[in-house]
Amino acid sequence: MLVVGMLYYQPVNAEASPSATQTLEAEVEPTVAIAAEWAGGGNNSTIILSDLAADNMERSWSGGSGGEQVHSYSNVAIDLYVRAAGDLTNGSNTISLDLLKYADYGASVSKTSFTTEYVRVLLGWDPPSQGGRVTVPVDLFLTVPFATPPGVYTTTIYHAAVQENAEQPTSP
């Protein structure tokens, strides 16, 4: 039996090398990523417009580092859209959504009332340098009608981005 086992034994010899080479491939997918910021409050911070008089006069807040701004961290060109959830509300009291407006977006977007449907405000917004971000200011305007009851009125502002020339967003 021992002789048979030795006949089938085949030693394996491997030569060592001082180096080894392999190709590595890492495929980076298109990424669409944005954030909105209010007055240095951090990404997706609450927009706080305070000390407003019910005087039927339009107030404005310039966009940028001291106001509203949108950042893109995308690695492809994007189209940026904006909308609001609806009227500003405080219980059963409301301020009509058409009295809340936006402008600029770094592209001289004209002053426009928010709507509940997405509206494109930037087309083909180029991506930032690798590891960075690009930012656009958003000017805001609000008129509080005469005799509006006091209180905190709220709505939600949505910014949505899609890869350039893709279908318009439908949610959130």
Q: Does pLDDT of 6 surpass 70?
A: no
Nearest in space to 139 (alpha carbons), one of 120, 121, 162 = 121
Cβ atoms of 103 and 112 closer than 8 Å: yes
HSE value, Cβ hemisphere, 13 Å, CA-based, for 13:
1
Cβ atoms of 50 and 152 closer than 8 Å: no
Residue 9 counted as domain residue: no
Q: What is the pTM of this model?
A: 0.86
Measure the CA–CA gap between 22 and 155, rounded to whole angstroms. 55
If pLDDT is split at 50, 70 and 90, which confidence band does 12 have?
low
User: What residue type is assigned to position 162 of the chain?
Assistant: V
If pLDDT is split at 50, 70 and 90, which confidence band does 8 have?
low
Chain centroid to Cα 109, Å, comes to: 18
Residue 17 counted as domain residue: no
| CATH code for the domain in which residue 36 is found | 2.60.40
Residue 78 counted as domain residue: yes
Residue 100 counted as domain residue: yes
How many distinct structural domains can be found in the chain?
A: 1
Q: Is 70 exposed, middle or buried (0-12, 13-18, 19+ CB in 10 A)?
A: buried
Measure the CA–CA gap between 140 and 97, rounded to whole angstroms. 13
Residue 82 counted as domain residue: yes
User: How does pLDDT run across 79-110, given as a tens digit for each residue?
Assistant: 999 999 999 999 999 999 999 999 999 999 99
Residue 19 counted as domain residue: no
Q: Does pLDDT of 5 surpass 60?
A: no
State in Å, rounded, how far the first CA of the chain is from the last one.
77
Q: Is the peptide bond before 127 cis (omega within 30 degrees of 0)?
A: no
Domain limits at 79? 31-163
Helix (H) or strand (E) holding 68: strand 68-72
Residue 6 counted as domain residue: no
Residue 47 counted as domain residue: yes
User: What number is the average pLDDT over the span 35-54?
Assistant: 94
User: What residue type is assigned to position 59 of the chain?
Assistant: R
